């Protein structure tokens, strides 16, 4: 059951949207503004689910995925990619990604994914 969610994106507006949605659904929300911070936070305080942007400074989402999947603490945390450039059909090319959701329909997609995961 999902209780704690880590949101990883360098865009403060995205954080605000996702935070508002998830807190209204009574989830604890952790925030990381770049990939390096995301990996550190996921290891120190493992979430039940991660929403991850791919295009970020310092460490992009691809490297975040690689590092999360190599660590036993974070290996099995479901990751949902938020992207304006990739679609669901790209999921197979990203190791360990449960789903890719579009940033253009972010509110609806986040509610659907979280509901599906319980």
DSSP string computed for 52-94 = EES--SSS-HHHHHHHHHHSTTTTT--EEEEESS--GGGGGGS
CATH code: domain of residue 90: 3.40.50.2300
Note the pLDDT tens digit of each residue in 33-46: 999 999 999 999 99
What is the extent of the structural domain holding 10? 4-117
Quick check: 87 pLDDT over 90? no
Quick check: 92 pLDDT over 70? no
The predicted structure's pLDDT at residue 104: 85
Tally of domains within the chain: 1
**C-beta of residue 5 within 8 angstroms of C-beta of residue 50:** yes
The residue behind tokens 């949902």 is 80
The predicted structure's pLDDT at residue 118: 73
Query: For the chain, how are helix, strand and coil distributed in percent, rounded to 5?
Result: 45, 20, 30
Model pTM greater than 0.75? yes
């Amino acid at each position: 059951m999902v209780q704690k969610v880590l949101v990883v994106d360098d865009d403060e507006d995205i954080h605000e949207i996702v935070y508002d949605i998830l807190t209204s659904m009574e989830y604890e929300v952790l925030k990381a503004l770049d990939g390096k911070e995301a990996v550190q936070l996921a290891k120190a305080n493992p979430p039940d689910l991660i929403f991850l942007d791919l295009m970020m400074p310092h460490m992009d989402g691809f490297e975040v995925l690689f590092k999360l999947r190599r660590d036993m603490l974070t290996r099995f945390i479901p990751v949902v990619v938020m992207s304006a450039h990739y679609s669901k059909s790209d999921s197979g090319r990203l190791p360990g990604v449960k789903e890719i959701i579009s940033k253009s329909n972010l509110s609806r997609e986040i509610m659907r994914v979280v509901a599906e995961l319980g």
